A and B are shown apart, each in its own frame.
Chain A
Amino acid sequence: MTVAGGLIARNRSRFDGFPEPLLESYESSLRALEPRLTPTQLEAWSQGGLDLMAISLRSWESAAEYFKAGPQLAESTPWDTYEQLAREAGDLTEQSAPLAVSFLRSAPATLTHIGPNHLAQWADFGRRLYKGNWKSSSLAAQFYDAGPDLFGTIRVSHAGRLVLFLDELARHSYELAAACLTSAPEVLGRLEGGDRMPFLTFGVELAQTSWADSRLYFDRGVPLIQRVHGPVRERYLTLAAQVARDHSRSVFQYFEDAAHALGEVEPDDHGPVIELAEQLAPHSAYAAMDFISNAPEVLEKVHIDELAAWQNHGLGILASSKEGGEAYFRLQSSRGEEVLDTLSARVELAKVGDVLRLYAKALTGRNISIHAAAVLAEKGIGWVDEERASTDGTTIYLPEVMELYRAKEENFAAVKVFTTHQAARLEFGSFTFSFDRPSTLFEDLRPTIQEAPGANPTTEIERFFDLFPDRTLASDIHKIAEGTRIDAAITRNYAGIRRALTRMQREELARRPEVSELPLRQAFVENLVRVSLDGTDALRWPAAQQDAMSNGISVLQQLMAESASIEDTAEATLRLYQLAMSIKNEREEGDEEWDSLPDMDQESLQLDMSDLGGEGAAMEMGEPQEGDVEYESPQDIDFRGDFKPELVQLLMKLRDDAELGDAGQISPDQLTEEQLQELLEKSAEIDLDTLLEGDLQNTTGMFLSNLLKEAGTPTLDSDAQSDQPLSDLSTGAEEGEEPLAPIVTTYYYDEWDFRAQDYKPRWCAVKEAALEEGEDEFYEDTLKEYAALVAQTRKQFELMKPELFRKIKKLSDGEDIELDPAIEWMIDVRTGVSPSDKVYWRRNKVDRDVAIAFLLDMSASTDEEIARRDQQYDDSDDDPRKYLSWWVTKRRQELAAPPKRIIDLEKEATVLLITALETIGDDYGIYGFSGYGRDNVEFYVLKDFDEQFGETTKKRIDKVTPIRSTRMGPAIRHAIHKLSETEAKVRILVLLSDGRPQDHGYGRDRTEKEYAIHDTKQALNEAKREGITPFALTVDRAGHDYLKTMCEDMGYEVVGDIESLPRRLPALYRSLTE
């Protein structure tokens, strides 16, 4: 009998009362293990199982698994492990049989991954998760079950961290922990080995601080973390963990944003960015994460090398003020923006546009606008490039951002060269070509050429280009020739820009393609480009054909003369075209030498000229020859931008026609659509394929209507829009779609963050609109109701009206001697006292020069009834009858006269004030404000400064109603803007409200008051700085506390008796302005 058989026989009785399969598995287990174990070991093994069975009622289940597990262990498993397994199983079974079942079931597979040495550790992990209750037991069981999967991917040390994480989560939610555990093998499997530990470490922190995010983290964390450059992932996670440790709010959000941001940064730059963030972390983890999140935006403006400088500046702020530093890195501080601008090398058109506009205007003497090139491309009128500078004759278009160089000055110099070149086209008449006007330098060939019969060109330049069979070549040469002329004119006239221009020419030369690889005609054109860039030494040309080239060069160089005109450009184009046509467009196959040209002396130049122009005979325009390679235009020259004289002349003509049309005249040769279409099809300046897609008919149709719209031709309905200048940044006007909707203009203002001691740039959007009109009854009724008061106020105000001339006495110099002081003078002289010489008088003109803005609070709280405030029922008296009678009385009163609300009084006071102001003739504006959130500060105009008081104003007052919140700061700032546009000497801003400023997001949370009050205070301070006298008036009885903070040394008043407001306001106005 085998050892196993003996054991089975001996122990069979112990299986009585247990399910049959238990014994079966016992038997098979022993038999399977018999060959591996010594008899003693086998007996010990058997005993282990039997002990398990005895532990508790259900422990046989774990024993069953125990028996199954044994044979599954690897053959090489040392005996120690069997023993250990038995020990752990026993231990676990004592705690929970199902737990032990799971443990034993996955033990064999797990052990193959972790090896026998880690068995105890693994068991411990599970135990750690088990807290003695049902849910924890199932989590721990799940953990054991997952063993093979889990350890197939991660190491034991990782599992320890994972357990820590799960344990932490389980404290809040077992479901969450279970879900994370389920996905753990897959999630961790997607990570690279080295990343797992930090990933889990951060997870633990997250679970501790904001556990609800853990699920998100597990679901979305991996792709996020993979956005971070491999070598620095760990540091990033450590950093994120630090945030989690220091703070509990929205940790995952920070993690996610920053990871996304890093994904947009060059991988090589991740290291430096994270390093800089690490320096910030000890001061503020938020700042560190915001720094990373905003890195892409910052790096768009500054080079990675300068990032440290930006960070360093912020670090300084952070060290002294945490709030300030955090705002800095959140990019919500003006200082941060300034530093960024200073460091940034790139030049943004939005920032320099105004300077360039005046610059171009100075150069050309015309009203030039400056716009981004993209704007021109959008118009769909022939220009397609969104990056290249160009002009359409009235506007200069420039690239939106210039970042060619590493220094700001260099970039600006480049923009200036771009602008100057475009401006010079206008200054030196690139678009004023006239076919019949003679040139100054050449013998005119234009009249000698046979024009196509029946042609009816629209523009002069079109007529010129019609002369050429190969229009593209002609257009290219013309462009090069004109560029040469313009560059020469710039160099001559603007010595200061010469250096920058030369530099750009040199750089352009370096970018040119290799000449000797081009077909010959193209090489000829390319060489012309080089000459025009002042790069005669960069020419390469077959020595055998030297004549054509030197002729070409000398023609081109003629255009550098001071007297060269656009007509000279045309003449040069004719000659160069002819030369180009004389050269076959084929590749030079032979071993012909490409040489630089020998220096040409002045004499040969003269000779060439006479050669070219002197023939006098009709000129032959060559036809493209058979066997040529198809001609391709030369590479564009960057700083010269697009040059489209045909289109510009056409636009000019259309514009002129439009003007004539406006003036009621009909242009004698109004363009027909057919003409335009013809031009469009033949012009080399328009690439219809790139311009618009779709069938040709359609495309040209759209193109034409775009063109007509651009020119403002009256036949199309585009009247008002084209006349209006594109609004600048501060007043980006949005026009309502429906004609009835009020026009809303949006303004942006900074907001003061008192914690950061800095402004949040362009934080609030103030939307200004005229208030809608109601009935004028309210106005008239108020006047009736307060008839007596109105009369009284008027009288008082009339007294304020100054005399036009006031006699000022006792002056040392004046119009005439005043009698009284003259007599005194005489007496003094006679009595030997030194007399006063102030004996003259003069009339001085006194003007009342006052502008006042009233800001009415239209917040929801003004809806409150005044009666309710004043006649609150006294709760202390419980007698229901008394209450009833009080209520009935009140109700009756209300029915007789509806109770007045605060807003009604505000309105009444406004009406009275208007009558007073109209009497005295001061300039005034009345505005209401409300809104919700920083993006929607509503600013209603009841009466603007330059608006006349009239029916409209009366009707608008009717529509003053309580709306929403009170964000005072931006409203005040906008009122300041309005006031500063008036020219009055005395400017006053009166703020009329019913309570403290408050709005959504106007402070850290709903209950915070300081932020709003400080911003309002700052806004009032700004008013003072502008020379405006602010005055706050509130009907809130509790107003003293915050008004004191808000107004400090400024005037304010709390109107205690609300109903006296209509009376008080005019009186107050007098005291303010007298």
Chain B
Amino acid sequence: MAPGGLVLAAEEFTVREEPYYLPLGDEIELFEAAFEQRIPVLLKGPTGCGKTRFVEYMSWRLGRPMTHISQGGEAPLDDEGPRPFVTVACHEDLTASDLVGRYLLDTDGTRWIDGPLTRAVKTGAICYLDEVVEARKDTTVLIHPLTDYRRLLPIEKLGQVVEAADGFLLVISYNPGYQSALKDLKHSTRQRFISVEFTYPTREQEAEIISHESGVDLAVSIELAKLGEKVRNLKEHGLSEGVSTRLLIYAGRLIERGIEPRRAAQVGVTWALTDDLEVQRSIEEVVTSIFE
């Protein structure tokens, strides 16, 4: 990760240090293979289960010197050195021009400025569009030509077409939990990606992650992971989304800092998850059953 205080252009950001990532299955091999073949990847899974961390990790992994990537066009960064990593968190007002770029007014007229996607395309970065269904539908116009054999980014306003640099790979993520009829991924979009499904890790794996990330000992982590597992049982029954590993880690960190486990679980899990008093109470009961 970039050291604090350093200001970088979007395309200059690289993952320099190895992020902690515990593989849950064959996702790493899959991703590597997809990258080599430049097949766009869709990561599917509930919130906080490690999708972003995975992409970061892959970006780091693929940027390692020993990774061999086939020769290609005029990529400014070749196989050597870290790989640029561009993340865009999508929201409901995110439009195509937010991704591609826009004209800014300048004293002498207008000046064009590239959007994050354009920069990623030009530098050959891994571009990660988080929660892509949230974005407006017009963004798909950009995604489509980039994700098939063409690998082109049309910039309408400039009348240009940018060919993607060799290292460019589009990765999008998508949380089927939010599924509503309006916010579903269209099939024409969907079928341009291979789809890697993420689920919550098993209790033991999750405990290991929690322990590593928060610093609490494994015994406490196991309890936290157990809590996570139990609370996830409530999904669709009062909870729209299960508790994320991230929240469990936060709870673990609080415990590590000396907060009483029940209290940590309360602020880190119970209250963080829902405002529904009844569900809160039920989770609270699970917490008080698990923690002394």
State the A residues within 8 Å of B (CB): 354-359, 361-367, 416, 420, 493-499, 815-817, 822, 825-826, 829, 835, 837, 839, 842
Q: Which of A358, A363, A496, A817 contacts B105 (CB 8 A)?
A: A817
Can you give 11 A-B contacts (C-beta < 8 A)? A356-B282, A358-B279, A358-B282, A359-B285, A361-B237, A364-B233, A366-B233, A494-B290, A496-B287, A815-B96, A815-B102
A822 & B233 in contact (Cβ 8 Å cutoff): no
Question: How far, in Å, is A144 (CB) from chain B's closest CB?
Answer: 74
Q: Does B75 contact A (CB under 8 A)?
A: no
Which 6 pairs across A and B sit closest by C-beta, in order of nearness? A358-B282, A365-B233, A494-B289, A362-B230, A495-B292, A359-B285
B292 & A362 in contact (Cβ 8 Å cutoff): no
Q: Does B283 contact A (CB under 8 A)?
A: yes
B289 & A361 in contact (Cβ 8 Å cutoff): no
B291 & A359 in contact (Cβ 8 Å cutoff): no
Interfacial chain B residues near A363, Cβ < 8 Å: 230, 233, 286, 289
B282 & A355 in contact (Cβ 8 Å cutoff): yes
Question: How far, in Å, is B68 (CB) from chain A's closest CB?
Answer: 41
Q: Does B26 contact A (CB under 8 A)?
A: no
B105 & A362 in contact (Cβ 8 Å cutoff): no
Interfacial chain B residues near A359, Cβ < 8 Å: 282, 285-286, 289
Interfacial chain A residues near B157, Cβ < 8 Å: 816
B237 & A496 in contact (Cβ 8 Å cutoff): no
Interfacial chain A residues near B233, Cβ < 8 Å: 361-366
B103 & A361 in contact (Cβ 8 Å cutoff): no
The residues in B between 260 and 292 inclusive whose CB is less than 8 angstroms from any CB of A are 262, 278-279, 281-283, 285-292
Q: Does B226 contact A (CB under 8 A)?
A: yes
Residue of A nearest to B104 (CB): A817
A362 & B281 in contact (Cβ 8 Å cutoff): no
Q: How far is the CA of A842 from the CA of B231 in the complex (A)?
A: 42
A358 & B290 in contact (Cβ 8 Å cutoff): no
A842 & B95 in contact (Cβ 8 Å cutoff): yes
Question: How far, in Å, is B162 (CB) from chain A's closest CB?
Answer: 19
Interfacial chain B residues near A839, Cβ < 8 Å: 105
Q: How far is the CA of A363 from the CA of B292 in the complex (A)?
A: 16
Question: How far, in Å, is B218 (CB) from chain A's closest CB?
Answer: 15
B237 & A420 in contact (Cβ 8 Å cutoff): no
A816 & B103 in contact (Cβ 8 Å cutoff): yes
Contact with A along B228-246 (1 / 0, CB 8 A): 0011011001100000000
B281 & A420 in contact (Cβ 8 Å cutoff): no
Q: Which of B93, B262, B278, B286 contacts A362 (CB 8 A)?
A: B286
Interfacial chain B residues near A816, Cβ < 8 Å: 97, 102-103, 157
Residue of A nearest to B227 (CB): A362
Q: Which of A362, A498, A817, A829 contacts B283 (CB 8 A)?
A: A362
**Which of A356, A365, A494, A817 gathers most chain B CB within 10 Å?**
A494
Question: How far, in Å, is A396 (CB) from chain B's closest CB?
Answer: 14
How many pairs, one residue from A and one from B, have CB atoms within 8 Å of each other in the complex? 84
Residue of A nearest to B239 (CB): A358
Q: How far is the CA of A183 from the CA of B157 in the complex (A)?
A: 109
Question: How far, in Å, is B252 (CB) from chain A's closest CB?
Answer: 16
Once A355-B285, A363-B230, A842-B95 are accepted as A-B contacts, the answer to whether A498 and B107 lie under 8 Å apart by CB is no
A358 & B97 in contact (Cβ 8 Å cutoff): no
B285 & A815 in contact (Cβ 8 Å cutoff): no
A495 & B237 in contact (Cβ 8 Å cutoff): no
Residue of A nearest to B97 (CB): A815
Interfacial chain A residues near B93, Cβ < 8 Å: 842
Q: Which of B97, B237, B289 contacts A497 (CB 8 A)?
A: B289
Question: How far, in Å, is B192 (CB) from chain A's closest CB?
Answer: 25
Q: How far is the CA of A496 from the CA of B93 in the complex (A)?
A: 46
Q: Does B110 contact A (CB under 8 A)?
A: yes
Interfacial chain B residues near A835, Cβ < 8 Å: 105
B291 & A355 in contact (Cβ 8 Å cutoff): no
Interfacial chain B residues near A494, Cβ < 8 Å: 289-290
Interfacial chain B residues near A825, Cβ < 8 Å: 105
Question: How far, in Å, is A414 (CB) from chain B's closest CB?
Answer: 13
- Given A358-B278, A816-B97; 14 other pairs, CB 8 A cutoff: A355-B278, A357-B282, A358-B234, A358-B279, A359-B282, A362-B234, A416-B285, A494-B289, A495-B290, A498-B292, A815-B95, A829-B107, A842-B93, A842-B95
Question: How far, in Å, is A408 (CB) from chain B's closest CB?
Answer: 14
Q: Does B217 contact A (CB under 8 A)?
A: no
Q: How far is the CA of A416 from the CA of B278 in the complex (A)?
A: 15
Residue of B nearest to A490 (CB): B289
Q: Does B32 contact A (CB under 8 A)?
A: no
Q: How far is the CA of A355 from the CA of B237 in the complex (A)?
A: 12
Residue of A nearest to B278 (CB): A354
Interfacial chain B residues near A358, Cβ < 8 Å: 234, 237-238, 278-279, 282-283
The residues in B between 28 and 43 inclusive whose CB is less than 8 angstroms from any CB of A are none
Interfacial chain B residues near A815, Cβ < 8 Å: 95-97, 102
Q: How far is the CA of A361 from the CA of B286 in the complex (A)?
A: 10
Q: How far is the CA of A493 from the CA of B291 in the complex (A)?
A: 9
Question: How far, in Å, is A400 (CB) from chain B's closest CB?
Answer: 19
Question: How far, in Å, is A503 (CB) from chain B's closest CB?
Answer: 14
Interfacial chain B residues near A493, Cβ < 8 Å: 226, 290
Question: How far, in Å, is A980 (CB) from chain B's closest CB?
Answer: 14
Interfacial chain A residues near B289, Cβ < 8 Å: 359, 363, 416, 420, 494, 496-497
Q: Does B213 contact A (CB under 8 A)?
A: no
Interfacial chain B residues near A837, Cβ < 8 Å: 105
The residues in B between 63 and 98 inclusive whose CB is less than 8 angstroms from any CB of A are 93, 95-97
Residue of B nearest to A417 (CB): B289
Question: How far, in Å, is A816 (CB) from chain B's closest CB?
Answer: 7
Q: Does B223 contact A (CB under 8 A)?
A: yes
Q: How far is the CA of A367 from the CA of B105 in the complex (A)?
A: 60
